[in-house]
């Protein structure tokens, strides 16, 4: 797809994440690790409620999280207070097949973006989450065998049925994004977001065109592992790069009178593509620190100091 196509096709289409019709909260809570928390349904409900009280109303899922178990843990909690559903936005993913006792037909780990798999996955997610709709469905990883026309057609059907309201991708390179987006335009639809990994130890999307594309299309990228899975906050003694970043985070946190977590999230929010970070912590305090980042603006040198700490050298 040419740049020209994108300009024309996109110019008339407002970005759904910016529109009042479908706002994700500016900070999203990730459910990936929920199975590790060992909580009761009441504790999980309390966690969801406390997040909502902070303004974190969007929750990130995938069919495979917790060995295909997290959606059900979340759904069981939601069943204690079903009316809460209407205050939430549920983001979900499909397309990865894990070898699991819960999926005995899978013989090897593989990717599957066939119509059959996407539909079966969405049906299973809706049942487990105890909801009638997903607010946003993402293809979890690029599938080398992806037939873009088939995926776009499947998405259009799911939307017509009211089972999925919006669509996006995760871990896609710009040209993979454009392939599927172009196929969706035939149905009058567009991809909403690309969910990617970004933090000072993973700066590739800043330099490989991913965030340039997001900015050009006014897409707000969702950011996974914003604290590098905890590496930035509790670096091991041998993790030199994480220790360097942690030191700069602490220094900036002192200067801004906030926590290091707040600075790490503020570093992401500083990007003009207006990223939407997904926290992964079980602790409500961490969510509170992430929300606090919405009120912190890092100056350019502070931003580059973290870039430099992550890379281990100054900019060229
Ligand atoms: N699309 C994809 O391919 C993809 C891949 C991975 C993740 N995701 C999504 O992104 C979400 C976030 O990812 P993530 O969990 O890696 O995010 P993260 O926020 O970078 O890491 C969360 C981890 O860091 C720990 N942590 C946070 N603050 C800490 C501190 N001060 N000291 C020590 N440990 C600390 C947390 O432990 P505590 O719970 O104890 O705070 C938790 O284990 C996931 O839930 C999932 O929804 C998507």
Active-site hit among 65, 68, 111, 304:
65
Q: Which atom of ligand 1 is nearest the CA belonging to 227?
A: 20
Predicted confidence band of residue 7 (pLDDT cuts 50, 70, 90): very low
Q: Which atom of ligand 1 is nearest the CA belonging to 199?
A: 20
* Structure tokens that stand for 120 in this block: 């079966």
Annotated active-site residue 65? The verdict is yes
User: Which residues, 6 or more positions from 194, have their beta carbon under 8 angstroms from its beta carbon?
Assistant: 168, 169, 170, 171, 172, 177, 210, 213, 214, 219, 221, 222
CA of 230 to the centre of ligand 1 (A): 6
* Structure tokens that stand for 173 in this block: 């390179």
Predicted confidence band of residue 18 (pLDDT cuts 50, 70, 90): very low
Give the C-alpha separation, 63 to 27, whole Å.
21
Q: Residue 120 region, left (φ>0) first, then alpha (ψ -120 to 50), else beta?
A: alpha
The overall average pLDDT reported for the chain is 94
Q: According to the model, what pLDDT value does residue 9 have? A: 44
Give the rounded percent of residues in the chain with a pLDDT score beyond 90. Answer: 92
Q: According to the model, what pLDDT value does residue 190 have? A: 96
- Tens-digit pLDDT profile for residues 179-212: 999 999 999 999 999 999 999 999 999 999 999 9
Q: According to the model, what pLDDT value does residue 21 have? A: 45
Helices (H), the chain: 3-11, 41-53, 65-68, 70-78, 115-129, 148-160, 174-185, 204-207, 210-216, 240-256, 260-269, 284-292, 300-311
Indicate if ligand 1 lies below 6 Å from the C-beta of 32. Answer: yes
- Tens-digit pLDDT profile for residues 221-271: 999 999 999 999 999 989 999 999 999 999 999 999 999 999 999 999 999
Q: Tell the residue nearest (CA) to atom 24 of ligand 1.
A: 230
- Tens-digit pLDDT profile for residues 279-306: 999 999 999 999 999 999 999 999 999 9
């Amino acid at each position: 797809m040419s740049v020209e196509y994108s300009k024309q096709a996109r110019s008339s289409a407002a970005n759904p994440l910016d529109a009042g019709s479908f706002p994700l909260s500016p900070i999203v809570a990730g459910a990936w690790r929920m199975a590790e928390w060992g909580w009761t349904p009441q504790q999980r409900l309390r966690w969801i409620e406390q997040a909502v009280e902070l303004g974190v109303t969007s929750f990130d899922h995938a069919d495979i999280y917790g060995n295909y178990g997290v959606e059900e843990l979340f759904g069981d909690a939601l069943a204690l207070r079903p009316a809460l559903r209407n205050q939430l936005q549920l983001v979900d993913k499909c397309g990865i097949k894990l070898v699991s006792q819960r999926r005995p037909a899978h013989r090897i780990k593989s990717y599957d973006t066939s119509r059959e798999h996407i539909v079966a996955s969405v049906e299973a997610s809706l049942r487990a989450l105890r909801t009638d709709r997903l607010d946003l469905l993402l293809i979890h990883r690029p599938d080398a065998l992806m037939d873009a026309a088939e995926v776009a057609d499947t998405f259009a059907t799911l939307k017509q049925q009211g089972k999925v309201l919006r669509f996006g991708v995760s871990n896609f390179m710009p040209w993979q994004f454009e392939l599927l987006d172009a196929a969706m335009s035939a149905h009058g639809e567009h991809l909403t977001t690309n969910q990617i990994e970004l933090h000072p130890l993973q700066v590739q999307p800043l330099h490989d065109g991913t965030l340039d594309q997001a900015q050009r299309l006014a897409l707000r990228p969702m950011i996974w592992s914003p604290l590098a899975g905890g590496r930035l906050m509790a670096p091991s003694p041998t993790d030199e790069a994480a220790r360097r970043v942690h030191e700069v985070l602490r220094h900036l946190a002192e200067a801004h009178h906030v926590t290091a977590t707040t600075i790490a999230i503020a570093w992401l929010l500083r990007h003009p593509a207006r990223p939407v970070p997904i926290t992964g912590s079980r602790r409500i305090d961490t969510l509170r620190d992430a929300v606090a980042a919405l009120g912190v603006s890092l100056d350019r040198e502070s931003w580059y100091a973290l870039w430099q700490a992550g890379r281990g050298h100054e900019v060229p």
